[in-house]
Amino acid sequence: MAAIVAYVIWGMLPLFFRLVHHVDPVEIVTQRVLWSLLLIVTLLAARRGLGPLISALRDRRLIMPLAGSALMIAINWLTYVWAVNDGHVVATSLGYFLNPLVNVALGVLVLKEKLRRPQMLAIVVAAVGVAILAAAALTTLWISLTLAISFAFYALLRKITPVAPMTGLGVETLLLTPPAIAYLIWEAGHGGVSFGQDAGTTALLVISGAVTTVPLVLFAMAAQRLPMATLGILQYLAPMLQFFCGVVLFGETLSHGQMLSFGLIWIALILFATDGVRMARRNRVATV
């Protein structure tokens, strides 16, 4: 349930970021970082969790992988916000359609997870779809690949790092805070920041903290408890909603190559999901 709620929130984010399309994408990300930090510290203080946060900051075994995950999520946020505000919602949805394939690949290569034949077939079909897209949408392919790879490595780092979800997110946000503040100071001296210019924009930038924190905490909870392959399948919820936003709500058009590519990736999803349901039923029968 944590994973499902997180992915639904992420799937509807294009609607939120279109409301702040007039704000510089980098400022949006820096505001997300700062307001997320305030929310996280407040929640940790309420739960008496500031002690573990301080301990994690002092633990070299934790700080290095969390610095890596902070870098990955920052790259992901910047790419996503820029792409949505520049009218490439379909490209972002493809990135998150591809991300589960990268999750599965990392699960096999790094975590030594095993794949069943239907899962392997699904990956091959989806890989063909990616190859077609590479030929049909070269100008936006970098957006899709950047989103897919950065979030897959974020998920991997959070999965292998033994830290509580909220504590880990707190460390990541603290590590991103100095560059966020530095950018806002620089921007204030080069044209001014959007925060504070009008009540609507200011409120939305404040809300971006909750929009950022809630799904990431839920995702971190799920990442520690689910296999990478299962996590990858559930993630298709987000790009399906993003695809709907891009095509139906924002009027983006699809080329023939993109339609064929998406079709193959959806077939791969059906194969993967059907196999997952079959195995879940078999496991339930075996435990009765």
Distance CA 277, CA 281 (A): 6
What pLDDT, in 10s, does the model give residues 41-77?
A: 998 898 888 898 999 999 888 999 999 999 999 999 9
Tell me the pLDDT of the chain (288 aa) as tens digits: 888 899 899 889 889 988 888 888 999 999 989 999 998 899 889 888 889 899 999 988 899 999 999 999 999 999 999 998 888 888 888 888 777 778 777 888 887 877 788 888 888 888 888 778 767 767 888 898 899 999 889 988 988 888 888 888 899 999 999 999 999 999 888 777 888 788 888 999 999 888 888 887 888 788 778 876 677 667 778 888 888 888 888 888 777 877 888 788 788 878 877 877 787 677 766 665
What pLDDT, in 10s, does the model give residues 227-239?
A: 766 776 677 788 8
What pLDDT, in 10s, does the model give residues 152-180?
A: 899 889 888 888 888 888 999 999 999 99
The answer to whether the pTM exceeds 0.75 is yes
Distance CA 233, CA 273 (A): 7
Number of H helices, E strands in the chain: 13, 0
Q: Which of 29, 12, 47 is nearest to 177 (CA)?
A: 29
CB 257 within 8 A of CB 135: yes
Torsion of CA 268, 274, 279, 281, to 10 degrees: 170
Where does residue 257 rank: exposed (0-12), middle (13-18), buried (19+ CB within 10 A)?
Answer: middle
Torsion of CA 16, 218, 34, 77, to 10 degrees: -60
105 CB neighbour count, 10 Å cutoff: 16
